[in-house]
């Protein structure tokens, strides 16, 4: 896929936004959002699809940490 012009970028971002909204509305069930996933993959370069997918995972993880807080794992105990 060649470099996207402004209209191509907008189409990609719109497809991403529709997919993310569908996933949010359906509890991240991909089978309910297959149509949007196909549009996303069609309108965006593969590298962008990979980036945006990782970005969504990161944002969801960050949101979870902000809501629930972070509890560090216990490390090895130090000898007394």
Q: Using one digit for the tens of pLDDT, what is the confidence trace for 33-77?
A: 999 999 999 999 999 999 999 999 999 999 999 998 877 778 777
Q: What is the tally of helices (H) and strands (E) in the chain?
A: 3, 0
Q: Which residues contact 1 (CB under 8 A, 6 or more apart)?
A: 45, 46
Residue with tokens 């069609």: 42
CA distance 27 to 65: 18
Chain-centre distance of CA 1, in angstroms? 21
pTM for the model: 0.80
């Amino acid at each position: 896929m060649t470099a996207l012009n402004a209209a191509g970028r907008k189409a990609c971002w719109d497809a991403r936004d529709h997919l993310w909204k569908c996933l949010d509305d359906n509890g991240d069930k991909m089978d309910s959002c297959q149509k949007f996933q196909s549009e996303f993959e069609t309108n965006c370069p593969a590298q962008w699809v990979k980036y945006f997918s990782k970005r969504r995972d990161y944002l969801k993880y960050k949101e979870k940490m902000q809501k629930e807080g972070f509890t560090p794992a216990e490390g090895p105990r130090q000898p007394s």
